[in-house]
Amino acid sequence: MAIRNIRKEDDEILKKKSKEVEVIDDRVKELIKDMIETMHKFDGVGLAAVQVGILKRIVVIDLYDEKPILKLINPVIIKTKGKQEVEEGCLSFPNKYVKVIRPEEVTVEALDENGKKIKVTGTGLLAQAISHEVDHLNGIILTDVMIPRNYGSNRTRRQ
């Protein structure tokens, strides 16, 4: 296992769409282990392969609770429900936090590291993390989805 370099906000690779994983082999499994180690090293709750410079549709998520780490290969969000306004950070945007609107509940289909089809439904922080990481796989970064700073500021000022 190894700590990988995290690509930062000005890296053009972050704007590229990741490709589907065709074969889950030892290299993919090693990448997943490296991604988990890298995510933990930098105290993240999620990491997409593109963030370590690999254009593959792979995501890892760890909410640091009693549940196992999610390892999602070729994830596809199939259902969303509700909305939540949340503050969000990103390992590719160190020390930056912005407001975003994310679904309150998300259902995703993917393959696990053994190639088994899985379906995961998450609410709250898990829904937020899944949405954030799948955005990365589609070349969508934090600044693309943040609520503009002047959000709600078009109210009439009282004289």
Q: Which of 88, 104, 113, 133 is catalytic?
A: 133
Residue 20 a catalytic site member: no
Measured CA to CA, the distance from residue 154 to residue 101 in angstroms comes to: 19
Residues in the chain, overall count: 159
Burial of residue 92 (CB within 10 Å: 0-12, 13-18, 19+) is: buried
Contacting residues for 159 by C-beta, under 8 A, at least 6 apart: none
Q: Are 92 and 51 in contact (CB under 8 A)?
A: yes
Residues catalogued as catalytic: 133
